[in-house]
Amino acid sequence: MADKPEKRELTIIRSFDAPLDKVWKAWTDEKLVAQWFGPRGVTNPICRVDAKKGGEIYIVMKAGKELGPAEGMEWPMKATFDEVVPMKRLAFTGTGLDDKQGIIIENRQTVTFAEENGKTRLTIQVLVTKVVGAAGQAAVAGMEMGFNQQLEKLGELLNSR
C-alpha cells in the first residue's frame, strides 16, 4: 500500500568551518561518507558512492547499541546521481529500503555547496515523492532529526581532519 505525502519538503542550511574542497570530498569519497552518513548511533558497514551523472549510491546503515531495541537493524538506501557539478551541486533520486529491498520511501535530494569567506555553506533540499506503509511514515517522521544529526556528524568529521 502506497500513499503520497502532501508535499513533504525539507530544507536545511549549514555553514562549516572548512574549505569547499574538503566538504565536497566528504560528500563524494565513499570512505568519508561512511564515517558520517546517517543519524547518531548508526554505522555504515556498506557504503558505495560513484559521484558522477548516472552513478549510484548504495549505503546500508546499521543501528548500534545506542539505539536500544533497534540495535542490529539495517536500513539500506540506494540512489542515482541525476546531476554532479563539481564543487557546486549534487542531485540524486533515492529510495529507502526495507530488509527485503522493498521501497519504503522515495525522495529527491539536491545538495548545493558555496564558499563564503573560507567556510562552506551547504544547502540540502529534500522532496519526498513516495511513502509506503508504516516504515515509510516512520522514515518521514524522523527525517528532519536524522538529517540534523547526520550534519552534526559531518561537522565533527570535517573538524577532525
And the C-alpha cell for 112? 548545493
114: β partners:
121
- Domain positions in the chain are 2-160
43-to-33, 36, 37, 126, 131 alpha-carbon distances in Å: 11, 8, 8, 22, 24
pTM confidence score: 0.91
- As a whole-number percent, the residues of the chain with pLDDT over 90 amount to 83
- Classify domain 2-160 at the CATH topology level: Alpha-D-Glucose-1,6-Bisphosphate; Chain A, domain 4 (3.30.530)
pLDDT digits (tens, 9 = 90+) for 30-51: 999 999 999 999 999 999 999 9
